[in-house]
Amino acid sequence: MPEPQIAQKGPYVWKAEKSEKVAWCACGRSGKQPFCDGSHKGTGFRPIVLDVEAGETYAFCGCKHTGTPPMCNGTHSRL
């Protein structure tokens, strides 16, 4: 599988307005970062779908190299 594109060297901090399922972009190609817009088609990458809770704040990985997908673990500081 190819390396993901780095969307940004830092997390996307996002607060959920409602409880719902979201799809985190794993390939780095999405125009709707940190969420998937289908740009991964044909790359071998797939988004990670997770349930988020209303009012909770999430730090989604922006560099796409985290060891704890889809959450940021600071890997971007070593890229």
pLDDT tens by residue, 6-61 = 999 999 999 999 999 999 999 999 999 999 999 999 999 999 999 999 999 999 99
Number of separate domains in the chain: 1
Rounded to two decimals, the pTM is 0.94
Q: Retrieve residue 62's tokens.
A: 């922006």
Q: What pLDDT does residue 2 have?
A: 85
Q: Report CA 55 to chain centroid distance, whole Å.
A: 19
Could you give phi then psi for residue 77, rounded to 5 degrees?
-75, -10
How far apart are alpha carbons 18 and 3 in whole angstroms?
A: 32
Given a cut of 90, whether residue 1 has pLDDT beyond it is no
Range of the domain at 69: 1-79
Does 77 have pLDDT greater than 80? yes
